[in-house]
Amino acid sequence: MTPQPVIVGIGAVVPSDLVAVARHGAPVVLADDALAAVDRARAVVERLASAATPTYGVSTGFGALATRHIEPDLRARLQRSLVRSHAAGSGPEVEREVVRALMLLRLSTLATGRTGVRRETAELLAALLSHGITPVVHEYGSLGCSGDLAPLSHCALALIGEGPVRDADGVLRDAGEALAAAGLAPVELGAKEGLALINGTDGMLGMLVLALADLQVLLRTADVAAAMSVEALLGTDRVFAADLQALRPHPGQASSAANLVRLLADSGVVASHRGPDCNRVQDAYSLRCAPQVHGAARDTVDHAALVAGRELASAVDNPVVVDLDGGVDGQGRVESNGNFHGAPVGYVLDFLAIAAADVASMSERRTDRFLDKARNHGLPPFLADDPGVDSGLMIAQYTAAGIVSDLKRLAVPASVDSIPSSAMQEDHVSMGWSAARKLRRAVDGLTRVVAIELMTAARGLELRAPLTPAPATASVVALLREHGVSAPGPDRHLAPEIEAAVGLVASGAVVKAVEDTIGELS
């Protein structure tokens, strides 16, 4: 079923629309108000292009070469040369969803009428998205200042019919060939257009929005995993009570704790040790403090979403067209600025990687408790069927521990590392693209660690029989079993079961199973 088209106007792109275009292939249509804004800004650029006074980005060179005035007969070559020379990425291909996200966000900035491109250039970018033509963008090349120059240049290269692309079927083709097959013609870039196509934070912002969509699901899944671990490790749910959480009124903490209370409701396992003869005074931190850690991560996600929302509402280019409605001379003007700097996005990308690492670290500690007979309160060592003959989930924990170690390295900030470039004209850069790339790896790692905790906790719950789990956690056990994650028994090949659990976490199926049982989680 073809997704509904996403309308790109002069307003901000909605995160759900970005996900629809990037991940689900939704086509794109430029709104009439956007096309009108594009036309107004283009008129300003064309007036300045014909003027005797040089204007940066219109009739000059770029970066450290901005002092050279470019004659009119060389300006088309100037724009082509800019795109070709800046399409200098290297390394593996970037994921299709990332490239589509950055293309949509560049189109959104063009649609604000602040960049000065022609409408046919904006329309061709929209057509590439609608026809599923995805330029090949490489892992390395962006310093996150003057925007994501190399990644965006590889996309701009496709607009002039050059460079490799992947068509809607994922086949690698020459851009000119792919455009012709779709009934599209390349554009010849006019004054300022090359610069307008490559000067933005669209790559890092696109990856931020996609990561936020994933983390909003992942953190609810982490609550589910924590509840299952508390339950199967004979922990108490009393510490999650609302009056205790209110003593430290962080909103994320309150939401996480409320989820844990609901997830553990009507648990026969929890009820079995709730009486006056229970000698468990306090649970370990990885159980007792789950709302504090998960909640802090939730608050970090909320802060990052606030920054993303501001960035989505921005027109990021240099120079920009301003005073379209009058201004000093009533004709609009083009001004240089520093809005392309990726610091606001880079900071929160790094912050999210820290949160992902810490949530995963706590999850792995809960997994480890299950496997130690001195700490798992009566469960077999490593949850093995015949300990000694069987190793149970011993090495699954190794896998989680190895991922957590990687996540800690990925939590080292990229945004504090600036390398000057462009003959010291661009002497401070954000490294926001690098921060975004490592966050994607961090989100994947967190997904895997939480999946391993879920399959471990599910086995622990089943080994507590005849005690019965809560309806919510029982639904997750059933989901895992339906998808090939086996019940306790002799050792078998674990890697496929781990991947099955990872898929259920990543798709949101775990959260859906719970919410189908007890209603929507916070």
Q: Do domains 6-199 and 208-518 have the same CATH topology?
A: no
Q: Please, are residues 215 and 205 in contact by the beta-carbon 8 Å criterion?
A: no
pLDDT recorded at residue 328: 47
Q: Which residues of 429-454 are buried (b: 16+ CB within 10 A; e: fewer)?
A: bbbbbbbbbbbbbbbbbbbbbbbbbb
Predicted local distance difference test score (pLDDT) of residue 70: 78
Crossing angle (nearest 10°) for helices 495-506 and 509-518: 60
Q: Which residues contact 57 (CB under 8 A, 6 or more apart)?
A: 192, 195, 196, 318, 319, 334, 336
| Residue range 122-147, pLDDT digits in tens | 999 999 999 999 999 999 989 988 78
The H or E element containing residue 423 is none
Helix (H), strand (E) at residue 320: strand 320-322
> CA-CA distance, 425 to 416, in Å (whole number)?
19
Question: Please, what is the Cα angle at 82 between 80 and 88, to 5 degrees?
Answer: 110
Positions marked active-site: 56
Cβ-contact 212, 301 below 8 angstroms: yes
What local confidence, expressed as pLDDT, does residue 3 receive?
Answer: 87
Burial class (CB in 10 A: 0-12, 13-18, 19+), 270: buried
Closest CA to 252 of 201, 293, 312: 293
- CA-closest candidate to residue 211, choices 291, 101, 313: 101
Give the CA angle between residues 347, 348, 351 to the nearest 5°: 95
Residues β-bridged to residue 426: 421
Question: Please, is 188 exposed, middle or buried when counting C-beta atoms within 10 Å of its C-beta (0-12, 13-18, 19+)?
Answer: middle
Q: Which class would CATH give 208-518? A: mainly alpha
Give dist(CA 522, CA 511) in Å, integer: 11
Burial class (CB in 10 A: 0-12, 13-18, 19+), 520: exposed
pLDDT along the chain (522 residues), means of 10: 90 96 98 95 88 77 73 83 94 98 97 95 98 97 87 97 98 98 96 92 97 98 98 95 97 98 97 75 92 98 98 91 65 84 95 98 98 95 96 97 98 90 78 95 98 98 97 98 94 97 98 98 96
Residue extents of the structural domains in the chain: 6-199, 208-518
- For residues 450 and 225, the answer to whether their CB atoms sit within 8 Å is yes
Which CATH superfamily does the domain covering 6-199 fall into?
Answer: Fumarase/aspartase (N-terminal domain) (1.10.275.10)
Give which of 250, 265, 262 is closest to 220, Cα–Cα: 262
